[in-house]
């Protein structure tokens, strides 16, 4: 199945930046149930390759639930149930298929959480952790990967002389960039961000946003944010969700200047009540 | 356009105040145009001076409304229709201020003509008629702004052809007068400025109407054909 071309999704306005993107992933009629409660209702949308897609919507709309489907985090709790598919291209894998190993999915699709959550280990070991889990033992290769990941997360220059310090000694913004480095170390294809700056000050927030803009040259990014201005600043595409449904998905410029659906307009302009 | 109110009532108050001040500015400019044209006919120098003096108030409106737009952008980060409204008001206010400048120009030229005591060009009735078209266009554009009515705005854009035609007619007449009687040349040249000012006012009213369509429909109709504009306004 390797090499199956990604489908083109034509109904979406092309983002201002660059030509029509190809889909890295496509969600098809995804519903999700926490036991008897249906949290996602038949979501269908593409995630474009090397673009930033933002998920916005009021609390409880299902955006974090949707994000977590991408690395099978819901598998950790009994009673949770998926319907539909999340296809990953180019190999055309349905990552929700029970026969697909969630550990393998998490290697390919990494996640960064709301609050920085480094392990109680050294800076170096935090970044090397995923690689060690994967069975990597060669010190030289680990060193190289750790440096690459820390450079990728714009943290290398700040920590290169204290790699063996405890990660908790870093500032909040640095800890979050360390978590991004940890996520990058396994060379993921998609990076998931769940409100990555809500616990950070404006300066640390700006540095994470700058990092997201740099990372999208190599990686596909999906970000959940409560901060609409942040979605407008960093994303190429935006999805507005409400009560478990996808209301509108389009280029970010379109969503923030001329959304097609009134519900989106009301939310974007602060008329949601 | 969304009709519901914002969660923040103060935001609604700020936007409403912006719009009503723009309409207030429009009302002042309308009276400036009428007074300037009346002055051209009557030679009432006091009234003409008043028009020139009032232009300061027009300028004050422009600065203060633009300032309010900057404040709303900085404090509210408006999006979608709110953003389009702020952008539209900011651009329309620039056009309004220029209409005000043109009214002042008519007052200055009229004062020169009457101070020199040489209003010898007959059939100035066409200037009054053109002035009537311009005032009606401006009023319609402001109404379209107040009601956010894209169809009414498209009508203003259509009316611009009438003022352009009136301008060409006045020019033809003035050239004829100048050829027939060289004594009319200096006054006729000044009347050309008046006609030109009216034609420019029509253009500015048209620009304002285009902003209304942008605010309501989210479509930029500048530099497109009238057929396109009408189609987009009624969609």
Judge whether B2 is closer than 8 Å to chain A, CB to CB: yes
Residue B72 CA to chain centroid, in angstroms?
25
Which B residues, 116 through 155, put their C-beta within 8 Å of a C-beta on chain A? none
Per the CB < 8 A criterion, the answer to whether B25 and B54 are in contact is no
The pLDDT assigned to B104 comes to 97
What is the per-residue pLDDT across A83-106, written as a single tens digit (0 to 9) for each? Answer: 999 999 999 999 999 999 998 899
For every residue of B152-168, which 3-state class applies, written as one string?
Answer: HHHHHHHHHHHHHHHHH
**Which residue in the set A256, A272, A273 is minimally distant from B79, CB to CB?**
A256
Inter-chain touch B2–A270, beta carbons under 8 Å: no
The pLDDT assigned to A4 comes to 43
Mean pLDDT of chain B: 91
Which B residues, 66 through 85, put their C-beta within 8 Å of a C-beta on chain A? 76-84
**Which residue in the set B7, B79, B219 is minimally distant from A273, CB to CB?**
B7
* Terminal C-alpha separation, chain A: 47
Q: Provide the CATH topology of domain A50-71+101-239+253-268.
A: Rossmann fold (3.40.50)
User: β-strands A52-56, A80-88: how paired?
Assistant: unpaired
| Domain boundaries defined on chain A | 50-71+101-239+253-268
- All residues of chain A having their beta carbon less than 8 Å from the beta carbon of residue B148 are none
Q: Could you give the dihedral angle defined by the CA atoms of residues A242, A244, A250 and A255, in that order, rounded to the nearest 10 degrees? A: 10
Q: Smallest CA–CA separation between B5 and chain A, in Å?
A: 6
* Terminal C-alpha separation, chain B: 13
Sheet bearing A37-48, strands edge to edge: A37-48, A23-34, A80-88, A93-94
CA–CA separation, A45 vs A239, rounded Å? 9
- The whole-number average pLDDT for the span A206-234 is 93
Which A residues, 189 through 228, put their C-beta within 8 Å of a C-beta on chain B? 228
CA–CA separation, A104 vs B228, rounded Å? 54
* Domains of chain B with CATH codes: 9-234 (1.20.58.220)
What is the per-residue pLDDT across A13-65, written as a single tens digit (0 to 9) for each? Answer: 555 445 568 999 999 999 999 999 999 999 999 999 999 999 999 999 999 99
The pLDDT assigned to B229 comes to 85
Among A9-13, A19-23, B189-193, the minimum mean pLDDT is found in A9-13
- How confident is residue B120, by pLDDT bands cut at 50, 70 and 90? low
Per the CB < 8 A criterion, the answer to whether B205 and B143 are in contact is no
- All residues of chain B having their beta carbon less than 8 Å from the beta carbon of residue A264 are 80
Share of chain B above pLDDT 90, in %: 72
Q: What is the DSSP string of A35-50?
A: TTEEEEEEEEEEEETT
Inter-chain touch A265–B4, beta carbons under 8 Å: no
Helix residue ranges, H only, chain B: 9-42, 45-76, 80-115, 125-147, 150-180, 185-217, 226-234
Q: Is the pLDDT of residue B110 over 70?
A: yes
**Which residue in the set A228, A229, A265 is minimally distant from B81, CB to CB?**
A265
Residue B225 phi, psi (nearest 5):
-75, 160
- All residues of chain B having their beta carbon less than 8 Å from the beta carbon of residue A272 are 7
More confident residue, A1 or A123: A123
What is the per-residue pLDDT across B194-221, written as a single tens digit (0 to 9) for each? Answer: 999 999 999 999 999 999 999 999 988 8
Inter-chain touch A257–B80, beta carbons under 8 Å: yes
Q: How far apart, in Å, are the Cα atoms of A128 and each of A108, A147, A154?
A: 16, 10, 16
The pLDDT assigned to B7 comes to 87
- How confident is residue B115, by pLDDT bands cut at 50, 70 and 90? confident
Which of A270, A272, A273 to substitute to test the interface with B, most B CBs within 10 Å? A270
Judge whether A260 is closer than 8 Å to chain B, CB to CB: no
What is the per-residue pLDDT across B129-186, written as a single tens digit (0 to 9) for each? Answer: 999 999 999 999 999 999 999 999 999 999 999 999 999 999 999 999 889 888 888 8
Residue of A nearest to B1 (CA): A262
What is the per-residue pLDDT across B87-96, written as a single tens digit (0 to 9) for each? Answer: 999 999 999 9
Inter-chain touch A271–B5, beta carbons under 8 Å: yes
Inter-chain touch A257–B218, beta carbons under 8 Å: yes
**Which residue in the set A232, A257, A270 is minimally distant from B6, CB to CB?**
A270
Q: Could you give the dihedral angle defined by the CA atoms of residues B30, B32, B37 and B38, in that order, rounded to the nearest 10 degrees? A: 110
CA–CA separation, A228 vs B170, rounded Å? 55
Inter-chain touch A271–B218, beta carbons under 8 Å: no
Inter-chain touch A258–B77, beta carbons under 8 Å: no
Cβ neighbours for B204, distance < 8 A, ≥ 6 positions apart: B95, B96, B98, B99, B102
Q: Is the pLDDT of residue A216 over 90?
A: yes
- All residues of chain B having their beta carbon less than 8 Å from the beta carbon of residue A54 are none
**Which residue in the set A256, A258, A269 is minimally distant from B2, CB to CB?**
A269
Q: Is the pLDDT of residue A9 over 50?
A: no
Per the CB < 8 A criterion, the answer to whether A176 and A116 are in contact is yes
Judge whether A269 is closer than 8 Å to chain B, CB to CB: yes
Q: Is the pLDDT of residue B225 over 90?
A: no
Share of chain A above pLDDT 70, in %: 92
Helix residue ranges, H only, chain A: 63-69, 102-108, 123-133, 139-152, 156-159, 172-184, 202-215, 228-234, 252-257, 262-268
The pLDDT assigned to A8 comes to 42
- All residues of chain B having their beta carbon less than 8 Å from the beta carbon of residue A266 are 2, 4
Q: Kindly report the pTM of this predicted structure.
A: 0.82
Per the CB < 8 A criterion, the answer to whether B58 and B32 are in contact is yes
User: β-strands A237-242, A245-251: how paired?
Assistant: antiparallel
CA–CA separation, A185 vs A173, rounded Å? 18
């Amino acid at each position: 199945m390797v090499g199956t071309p990604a489908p083109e999704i034509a109904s979406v306005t092309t983002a201002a930046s660059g030509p029509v993107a190809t889909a890295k992933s496509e969600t098809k009629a995804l519903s999700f149930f926490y036991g008897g409660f249906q949290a996602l209702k038949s979501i269908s949308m593409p995630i474009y390759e090397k673009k930033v897609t933002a998920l916005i919507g009021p609390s409880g709309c299902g955006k974090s639930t949707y994000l977590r489907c991408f690395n099978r985090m819901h598998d950790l709790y009994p009673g949770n149930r998926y319907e539909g598919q999340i296809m990953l291209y180019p190999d055309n894998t349905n990552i929700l298929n029970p026969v697909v190993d969630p550990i393998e999915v998490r290697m390919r699709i990494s996640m960064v959480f709301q609050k920085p959550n480094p392990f109680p280990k050294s800076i170096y070991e935090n970044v090397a952790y995923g690689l060690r889990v994967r069975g990597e033992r060669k010190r030289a290769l680990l060193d190289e990967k750790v440096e690459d990941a820390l450079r990728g997360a714009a943290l290398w220059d700040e920590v290169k002389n204290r790699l063996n310090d405890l990660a908790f000694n870093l500032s909040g913004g640095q800890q979050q960039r360390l978590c991004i480095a940890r996520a990058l170390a396994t060379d993921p294809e998609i990076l998931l961000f769940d409100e990555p700056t809500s616990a950070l000050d404006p300066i640390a927030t700006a540095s994470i946003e700058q990092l997201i803009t740099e990372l999208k040259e190599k990686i596909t990014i999906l970000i959940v944010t409560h901060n609409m201005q942040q979605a407008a600043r960093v994303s190429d595409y935006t999805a507005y969700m409400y009560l478990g449904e996808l209301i509108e998905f389009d280029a970010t410029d379109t969503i923030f200047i001329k959304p097609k659906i009134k519900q989106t307009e009301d939310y974007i302009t602060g008329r949601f009540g | 356009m969304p009709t519901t109110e914002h969660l923040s009532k103060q935001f609604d108050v700020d936007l409403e105040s912006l719009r009503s001040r723009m309409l207030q500015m429009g009302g002042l400019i309308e009276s400036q145009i009428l007074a300037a044209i009346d002055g051209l006919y009557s030679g009432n120098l006091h009234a003409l001076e008043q028009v020139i003096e009032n232009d300061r108030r027009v300028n004050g409106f422009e600065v203060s409304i633009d300032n309010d737009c900057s404040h709303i952008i900085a404090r509210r980060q408006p999006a979608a229709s709110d953003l389009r409204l702020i952008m539209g008001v900011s651009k329309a206010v620039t056009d309004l201020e220029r209409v005000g400048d043109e009214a002042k120009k008519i007052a200055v030229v009229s004062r020169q003509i009457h101070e020199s005591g040489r209003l010898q060009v007959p059939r100035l009735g066409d200037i009054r008629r053109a002035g009537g078209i311009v005032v009606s266009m401006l009023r319609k554009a402001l109404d379209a702004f107040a009601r956010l009515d894209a169809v009414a705005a498209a009508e203003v854009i259509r009316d611009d052809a009438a003022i352009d035609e009136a301008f060409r007619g006045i020019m033809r007449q003035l050239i004829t007068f100048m050829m027939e009687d060289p004594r009319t040349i200096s006054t006729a040249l000044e009347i050309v400025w008046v006609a030109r000012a009216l034609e420019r006012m029509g253009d500015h009213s048209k620009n304002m109407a285009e902003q209304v369509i942008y605010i309501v429909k989210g479509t930029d109709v500048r530099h497109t054909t009238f057929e396109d504009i009408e189609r987009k306004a009624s969609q």
